[in-house]
Structure 1
Amino acid sequence: MNTTTLERTEDGIDEVVAGLGHRAKAASLGLALASGKQRNLALTKAAEALRAHTDDLLRANAQDLDAIKDSGKDAAFVDRLTLNAERVAGMADALDAIAAQDDPLGRTLASFDRPNGLRIERISVPIGVIAMIYESRPNVGSDAGALCIKSGNAVILRGGSESLQSSRVIVACMAQGLRAAGLPEDAVQLVDTRDREAVKLLLHSTETVDLVIPRGGRGLVSLVQNEARVPTLLHLDGNNHTYIHASADIEKAVGIVQNAKMRRTGICGATESVVVDAAIAEKALPLLAEALSDCELRGDAAACKIVPDMIAANDEDWDTEYLSNIMSVRIVDGLDAGIAFVQAHSSGHTDAIVAEDMTAARQFMTAVDSAVVMHNASTQFSDGGEFGMGAEIGIATGKMHARGPVGAEQLTSFKYFVHGDGQKRP
């Protein structure tokens, strides 16, 4: 299939990025004026294209994987980069699920009449142009492109250099869907270069980019925080906790933690630290260690005393997002201590409590200041697809505009429509 690149060797990288921005700005107007039916058609046709070109995408992904085989990347990174037929099918299914959702645009969020006869409406509208900067996972390009099309936003994708071959095919499939729906193909563009200067240029593109969303490790997020002149919607790392309260059903707790850690260790929703109430630690920890036999446990002194084979944790362990088969273990004396520990070390992504005491669960969920807080469920449910959004563009860990999984609805803003009949302000 045609995966023509956007990088032009005769231009400098600054001209390339500026061109992407201006084309995206023009395309965003076309998307904003398009009907919901058109935008949905673009998504379903893009899903068809992904299914039709699965072999092309897998060949491209194999090239990406071959390019890093001697790079020393860890297993979690390789897993995030890897596509297979099942994952490609899931990407296509996500596009269809997003298309089936209600239109997030043109919703009347509020309406009221003023004594002077003016009628005022608050209406949902697109943000405009979004720059999505992400690492390794090629499916993020598909999810982000689909959510932006659904919400009427143009998007500029800057994926990790390791996934460039895969990203080219994905963007070509998105373009095929846009073309079939009569929408501008520039609504989804790829920064088709490995030049890292492109990221800084996007972060400085105040004339064309309305919002930057980074999705990756601390290094990427720190770069965005330090360099961005454009508003950002941050997706921080997932140093997530599961607290096993004294009232917990221990069998249930062990099953939840095993899934929360080991289902996929390399995703941001994985639990990295289990916090166990001292009242049940003697019973719970040996069972937990047995269930997590394939996971390296690093515990405090009290935990190591109960499970002697456990490795002694150091201070850095409590603040580490391992993204691998390693988990820290902390024993605390009661609910207040559990809350305090989680608050001190959580990255604000997702934290959970396992408890049969509903009062304790409510207190934990209210006090822990994370974007997603769960009760008796695996932290790996912290995902836009699991929240019924079809997919997500990230988990927002800030408190402004959007928080938690960011779907199409969260990628809208609003404006006021004011209707009058010749009113003049005195």
Structure 2
Amino acid sequence: MTMIDTPTKRTASEEPATLVRRLAMDGRAAQRALAAMDSAARGTALHHAAARLRGDAESVLAANSLDLEAGRTNGLSDAMLDRLALDPERLEGVANALDRVADLPDPVGEIIDETTRPNGLALSQVRVPIGLIGIVYESRPNVTADAAALCVRAGNAVLLRGGSEAVHSNRAIHASLVAGLSEGGVPEAAVQLLPTQDRAAVGAMLKAAGLIDMIVPRGGRGLVERVQADARVPVLAHLDGVCHTYVHHAADPAMARKLVLNAKLRRTGICGAMETLLIDTRFPEAGGLVAALLDEGCAVRGDPRVQSLDPRVSAAGDADWGTEYLDAIVSAAMVDGLDEALAHIARHSSAHTDVIVTAHEAAAERFLAEVDSAIVMHNASSQFADGGEFGLGAEIGIATGRLHARGPVALKGLTTYKWLVRGTGQARP
């Protein structure tokens, strides 16, 4: 694997605040050059990056093996190891995502709105890149590639800071990306990886107002809360995935079983995994639904009514209803109808993804209208809460707030806009 002598590597020994300032200035200069490239050139450069990643697969997987070995030594859970792990199939998926992003329509330059005022001024609202985006993330090395691809496609530079558990994987992926992008004419400093795991460097990123234009945290509640508390830079927050599936009394039992098992157990360590199961007291197969989870090796922590369905169910505590387990554990409660399900979700949901399973269209439409989450689904697994599955190519994260962008944040979520005003000599009276 080719190693690149980037500005990042030359400044690795600097004091954190000085390092971040230097990298940010390099990134801002690179972003201006990147924004001047046409859309086709940026897309071609991403195809080069995908090809380089495939060519470096052996080295990237070897680096990932070092992280997995260290993770096992340090006692990472199976779910966290799964988030960290790469194999040839997953790495090919990362490369494919780069290619998909390269081929997506470019939002930069899109006219959002235009009008002509009575005085003849022609106004247009046009999408432009945000600038330099800082991304602080944990565990999943694919974020290195996804974030870089989305930022570059939308004309943004990016400063990445991955978690220590994936340090070797992130460095290997970053080196491949920079090599491929450089072949396509993208400045090396457009995609930088912070070369230190010193937590002070994260603090310096959060305080780099005027240099970094937006911070995106991807990780657990502790990381996101720290970023939100300390940042002097605008934050696009991705909070816990406390995702609910409500099995309504009119749900098809076979469909409910399939969706519940998939939502919880397909991959337990992703933010779209179901963490709480709500079962209508009139649903005829409640016991079978709980038994199916237990039989597949999922621990169930239930309220008294769920406990009465199967002796293997343990008692849920108050904290369980707001916990993102990221493991083969689920909290489960019986609810007396749609109103009670909606109230439970309003009280405990993290506003990420919530699902209703039902054949009753009116109940489904009410659920879709009244649940105030970034993603609300009917008769589908919550594991579809993913930018790639939404046709967005990849995602920078799933934003659970209400401003700027919400749900899977992809290309349009990484743009802002400016107003263009064209006149013919008008002066304001």
Task: State the TM bucket, normalised to the shorter chain.
Answer: over 0.9
Q: CA deviation at 1:321?
A: 0.7
Contact preservation (8 Å) 2:12, 2:196? no
Q: CA deviation at 1:182?
A: 1.4
Give the structure 2 partner of residue 286 of structure 1.
288
Contact preservation (8 Å) 1:350, 1:370? yes
| Alpha-carbon distance in 2 for matches of 1:312, 1:286 | 18
User: Alpha carbon RMSD of aligned pairs, Å?
Assistant: 1.2
| Alpha-carbon distance in 1 for matches of 2:12, 2:28 | 23
Give the structure 2 partner of residue 212 of structure 1.
215
Q: CA deviation at 1:285?
A: 2.6
> Which of 119, 122, 129 matches 2:122?
119
1:166 aligns with 2:145: no
Q: CA deviation at 1:173?
A: 1.7
- CA shift in 2, pair 1:283/1:68, >3 Å: closer
Contact preservation (8 Å) 2:4, 2:179? no
TM-score, scaled relative to structure 2: 0.97
1:419 aligns with 2:422: yes
| Alpha-carbon distance in 2 for matches of 1:9, 1:44 | 29
Give the structure 2 partner of residue 262 of structure 1.
265
| Alpha-carbon distance in 1 for matches of 2:219, 2:117 | 47
| Alpha-carbon distance in 1 for matches of 2:164, 2:312 | 40
Give the structure 2 partner of residue 2 of structure 1.
3
- CA shift in 2, pair 1:7/1:66, >3 Å: farther
Q: CA deviation at 1:66?
A: 2.0
1:15 aligns with 2:12: no
Give the structure 1 partner of residue 234 of structure 2.
231
Residue deviations 1:262-294 (CA, integer Å, cap 9, x gap): 0000000000010000111x5223244225411
Give the structure 1 partner of residue 390 of structure 2.
387
Give the structure 1 partner of residue 343 of structure 2.
340
SS in 2 for 1:255: helix
| Alpha-carbon distance in 1 for matches of 2:164, 2:262 | 31
Structure 1 runs not aligned, ≥5 long: none
| Alpha-carbon distance in 2 for matches of 1:181, 1:115 | 46
Residue deviations 1:180-238 (CA, integer Å, cap 9, x gap): 12121111000011111111100000021000000000110010011000000000010
Contact preservation (8 Å) 1:242, 1:351? yes
- CA shift in 2, pair 1:150/1:318, >3 Å: same
Q: CA deviation at 1:7?
A: 6.2
1:397 aligns with 2:400: yes
TM-score, scaled relative to structure 1: 0.98
1:365 aligns with 2:368: yes
Contact preservation (8 Å) 2:4, 2:178? no
Structure 2 runs not aligned, ≥5 long: none
SS in 2 for 1:338: helix
Q: CA deviation at 1:32?
A: 1.4
1:83 aligns with 2:73: no
- Per mean C-alpha deviation after superposition, the further-off stretch among 386-395 and 162-171 is 162-171
The percent identity for this pair of structures is: 49
Contact preservation (8 Å) 1:254, 1:288? no
1:321 aligns with 2:324: yes
Matches within 5 A, 1:154-193: 154-193=157-196
- Per mean C-alpha deviation after superposition, the further-off stretch among 6-15 and 231-240 is 6-15
Q: CA deviation at 1:11?
A: 2.2
1:44 aligns with 2:30: no
Contact preservation (8 Å) 1:7, 1:192? no
Give the structure 2 partner of residue 307 of structure 1.
310
Contact preservation (8 Å) 1:130, 1:209? yes
Contact preservation (8 Å) 2:294, 2:312? no
